[in-house]
Structure 1
Amino acid sequence: MTANPLLNALIPLVADLSKDMSDAERYRRLLAASRELFPCDAVALLKLSDEVLVPVAVEGLSADSLGRRFKAAEHPRLQALLENRGPTRFAADCGLPDPYDGLVEGHSGHLEVHDCLGCPLYLDDQLWGLLTLDALDPARFGQVDLNTLEAFASLAAATVKASERINGLARRVEDERQLTAVYKEAATRHRPREMIGQSAVHKRLQDEINLVGDSDLTVLVTGETGVGKELVAEAIHGASARARKPLISINCAALPDTLVESELFGHVRGAFSGAVGERSGKFELADGGTLFLDEVGELPLVVQAKLLRVLQSGQLQRVGSDREHRVDVRVIAATNRDLADEVKAGRFRADLYHRLSVYPLQVPPLRERGRDVVLLAGYFLEENRARMGLRSLRLSPDAQKVLLGYDWPGNVRELEHLIGRAALKALAQQPERPRILSIDVAALDLPGTGSVAAAQTAAAAVPEIPAGQDLRTAMDSFQRSLIEQTLARHQGKWAEVARELSVDRANLNRLAKRLGIK
């Protein structure tokens, strides 16, 4: 008797429901079973959160897919899957764009998905997300029994539910909904941003955030410029008992010294020129909630003394007033300076430093986060895809490797700006607007990578070196060809050539003269 393939796929998953394993392993087994039962090029499990579909696990898709966030309203196929209670197969000639176009791994070129199956997942009759299966062959799912897919989707939902129960997430669902409503209603707050990453250092940071968030300790967030210190402050506030109260932020470096005190503590009418009425400061606005002091190391010493008093007593005076105001505020401060060194140099009060650093929290630089850079790139790619009105925006395999090898002195902020610039450059190089746009190494234009792209381009054009030619002559021939082609691309601008080839301008001039180019 031939074994039933459905039972072969379902029995191990049923057995897994009672096992204690990581989410990653549980979902890996689920997707592997789905591909065994429904042979396809890619499969994804996506969770619905505030009308945004978040990839929880993927197989067969580009690594950056896990960092992407698909707004259902911007992807008509995903929206159609959400609106249909049962499984849906899209016709091969369906005109609706597929969100995974160009993202299928293991295939060269900008291939579009031609056969697409999907099914919503419900937990306790509540829509949780989607299971999607995609194939490049338009006839791949022609023989698939949709009832079988629906049965598998039910088990997938049970797998998700088991995972959430084991991790205690189910108990937090209502709280998360209430928090979302509070954030939307608070005029001083925007929708909390997500911290994206799967690296060990990122997970340790999240564990620390959850630990200190559940307390009322003052936190000093440190780290290099661009690592996301404000995002960490938002996460700490969101994990605290004050989450339903406002989080007020102030950039201490962005205000003139004469206004910092007024911004923090408020002022009364006539306190100084231009003070035409009373005004509450950031401390009063944050009463009951959290105050985030970004770039706290930039505060003038005179303001530091008054800040210390508020932290110690919870009392403040508006500028120009003798009246005391009592506030209940948790302070989270951030700086990219070494405040201990600032204390030694006399630029920061030692007592304030110790008051702020009750719980010091170091945010790791992007270069220490491994493949998180690819996930973050995927998040920014999806943002730019929507902004530019493209069907798909992707990174070439070589571009992904370059991102992983770069040192990221500007950290996540640099990556965000880089992806935006590269997308515009890649689009500008197209003779007509493409359906699928790929960003290559040249479009990234990262320091030290221009020469790699130029060398690849030049290598294709350099004639084969005749047999018997000595190494010095062969090297001179290659360097001459590379410099001449780069010079032609930059219309004779030697400074641009030096920058692309990552060589010193003076050294390039000497080499060009020796090779007879100048």
Structure 2
Amino acid sequence: MQPSINQVLLQIALDLSTSLPSGHHYQRLIAALNRVLPCEASALFVFDEMGFLQPVAVSGLSEEVLGKKFLPDNHPRLKAILGCTTPLRFPSTSELPDPFDGFLKDDPNSSIDVHDCMGCSLYVEDNLVGVLTLDAMKVGAFDQIDDITVETFAALAAATIRNITMVEALKRSNKKHQNINKLLIEEARTKGGQLVGVSLEIQRLRDNIKMVAHSNYAVLISGETGTGKELVAHELHAQSQRSDKPMVYVNCAALPESIAESELFGHVKGAFTGANSHRAGKFELADSGTIFLDEIGELPLLLQAKLLRVIQQGEVQRVGADKNLFIDVRIIAATNRDLELEVSEGRFRSDLFHRLNVFPIHVPPLRERKGDIAVLTGHILDKVKLQFNINTLHVHPRSLQYLEEQKWVGNVRELEHTLMRAALRSIQDQQAVITEEHLGVSGMVIKGVSSATDDMPDQPIVMREAVERYQKQLIEHGLKKSGGIWSKAADFLKMDRGNLYKMGKKLGVKP
């Protein structure tokens, strides 16, 4: 039994809210139209970005049509339909060529000479988006079809085009955002730096990171300012199962108390003065990923209680909202405070401390990392060389020994800033060796190196040549002490073996 027009229209309307494979919505609409209208051929066109009409669904026509594009100026009937806002009917005596001549499915060699033809332009919010065409071989086949019926099908076709266009735009936007997120994650890892060092302390730190990274346990990172707590957080995330998801950074010390709750948990429009739109908080943005709460010890007690609720129940409530949102977030926190002392003195909640302190990781201060100064120095100077596009830059052995004897209360960050300042001075002096003068130290005495002034020149000399002679003497001395073995000489002079060998070759040192 042939379905009624109402049944077909209902099915098309239901299809609008149904998820179907790409292109199926268009073809189902054309198929439904042909079930109730007396047409042997029909086509649905959509405008592309170049102004061509692209067939997206056909019936009674060769599928070859789907691979073609139609420029309206070259097809008078299509141009006429586009110029009319209501259904346009062509008389059988019309001399305008039919765009589908030669494309009939049953008889591709014939032209469509005598037939009924009509079409309707498709609009979405006053924007012309496409065309619907209908062809019947029998003259007068469409006489009993009123314009309202055709306009209804046209409206549903336009709605279908709009829905599909919006879905495809969302998919493209989502893919673009995924690519951008992936790129930003990779850039964050690259810019975030890395844990550099060879000491037992830094190796123990790496082992702890590897041990807990794959779990979802909360991690509390402690350590002095400048030790690299943020680097540890990045490593934990990079080695976790959430590494392809974002890690959202929150500096708790920089959160103004008046807006801290909104920053962390979000707000709804109208929740407070200035809340002009809905806004997701940091926890929502980190959903399925990691949130890094830096300087957690600075968080006010009121917010500590709300943070505890998030950790315990896995849900957040936007400021001004009447419902909660469930989230899946891995929490990493860091502090330079003694949180146990803070708890005992009432400045930090004990229940929150125990929730965060599931797996504590302590980052050792630089003064306890024996042997890491030289490695860090080489790493930092490599970054300086890359930044200033220079080939050679290293530290004089006396300067390196000076660096190794300092307490570094600011830890790696202080060492980095010291070396960057010294490197800038050496570059300005057009020298490849950072000396004590570049470090801002004068008259320093280094263990194992003579500080007598008897060897100081009385006449003007080229300082670079003097430095290179001294370097050559030191390398030769180191090789002599090490039996001509470059690796032992490098240990003696506290240098990287490769760098020492290059320097020796440049200065003409023969083992």
Q: Separation in 1 of the partners of 2:440 and 2:309?
A: 49
Matched-pair contact (CA < 8 Å) for 2:221–2:360: yes
Q: Separation in 2 of the partners of 1:248 and 1:203?
A: 27
Corresponding letter in the other structure for 1:310: V
Paired position in structure 2 for 1:325: 325
Q: CA deviation at 1:389?
A: 3.0
Distance change in 2, residues 1:444/1:459 (3 Å): farther
Q: When the two structures are aligned, how many residues end up with a matched partner?
A: 277
Paired position in structure 1 for 2:270: 270
> Counterpart of 1:443 in 2: which secondary structure?
coil
Q: CA deviation at 1:460?
A: 5.6
Matched-pair contact (CA < 8 Å) for 2:189–2:234: no
Paired position in structure 2 for 1:405: 405
Q: Separation in 1 of the partners of 2:260 and 2:453?
A: 56
Q: Which runs of 5+ in 2 are unaligned?
A: 1-178, 459-511
Q: CA deviation at 1:261?
A: 1.2
Paired position in structure 2 for 1:255: 255
Distance change in 2, residues 1:439/1:185 (3 Å): closer
Q: Separation in 1 of the partners of 2:455 and 2:256?
A: 56
Paired position in structure 1 for 2:359: 359
Distance change in 2, residues 1:249/1:457 (3 Å): farther
Q: What CA RMSD, in Å, does the superposition of the two structures yield over aligned residues?
A: 2.6
Distance change in 2, residues 1:181/1:399 (3 Å): farther
Distance change in 2, residues 1:356/1:199 (3 Å): same
Q: Separation in 1 of the partners of 2:254 and 2:412?
A: 21
Corresponding letter in the other structure for 1:402: Y
Q: CA deviation at 1:412?
A: 0.8
Matched-pair contact (CA < 8 Å) for 2:304–2:352: yes
Q: CA deviation at 1:189?
A: 4.2
> Counterpart of 2:272 in 1: which secondary structure?
coil
Q: CA deviation at 1:391?
A: 2.2
Distance change in 2, residues 1:181/1:236 (3 Å): farther
Aligned residues with identical type, % of pairs: 48
Q: Separation in 1 of the partners of 2:337 and 2:421?
A: 29
Q: Separation in 2 of the partners of 1:377 and 1:181?
A: 34
Q: Separation in 2 of the partners of 1:291 and 1:461?
A: 58
Paired position in structure 2 for 1:445: 440
Q: CA deviation at 1:445?
A: 2.9
Matched-pair contact (CA < 8 Å) for 2:198–2:372: yes
Q: Separation in 2 of the partners of 1:377 and 1:227?
A: 15
1:374-389 mapped onto 2 (5 Å cutoff): 374-389=374-389
Q: Which has the larger radius of gyration?
A: 2
> Counterpart of 1:211 in 2: which secondary structure?
helix
Matched-pair contact (CA < 8 Å) for 1:183–1:190: no
Paired position in structure 2 for 1:297: 297
Deviations, residues 420-446 of structure 1 (Å, cap 9, x unaligned)? 101112233x2xx45xx1101221236
Matched-pair contact (CA < 8 Å) for 1:228–1:412: yes
Corresponding letter in the other structure for 2:381: L
**1:212 aligned to 2:212?**
yes
Corresponding letter in the other structure for 1:438: V
1:8-87 mapped onto 2 (5 Å cutoff): none
Corresponding letter in the other structure for 2:203: K
Q: Separation in 1 of the partners of 2:185 and 2:410?
A: 32
Matched-pair contact (CA < 8 Å) for 2:265–2:284: yes
Distance change in 2, residues 1:458/1:276 (3 Å): farther
Deviations, residues 9-36 of structure 1 (Å, cap 9, x unaligned)? xxxxxxxxxxxxxxxxxxxxxxxxxxxx
> Counterpart of 2:279 in 1: which secondary structure?
coil
**1:348 aligned to 2:343?**
no
> Counterpart of 2:269 in 1: which secondary structure?
coil
Q: Separation in 1 of the partners of 2:206 and 2:372?
A: 14
> Counterpart of 1:331 in 2: which secondary structure?
strand
Q: CA deviation at 1:451?
A: 4.2
Q: CA deviation at 1:242?
A: 1.1
> Counterpart of 2:291 in 1: which secondary structure?
strand
1:41-440 mapped onto 2 (5 Å cutoff): 183-184=182-183, 186=185, 189-191=188-190, 193-428=193-428, 430=429, 433-434=430-431, 437-440=432-435
Q: Separation in 1 of the partners of 2:270 and 2:453?
A: 70
> Counterpart of 2:409 in 1: which secondary structure?
coil
Q: CA deviation at 1:327?
A: 0.5
Corresponding letter in the other structure for 1:240: S
Q: Separation in 2 of the partners of 1:262 and 1:366?
A: 37
Q: Which runs of 5+ in 1 are unaligned?
A: 1-179, 464-518
Q: CA deviation at 1:320?
A: 1.7
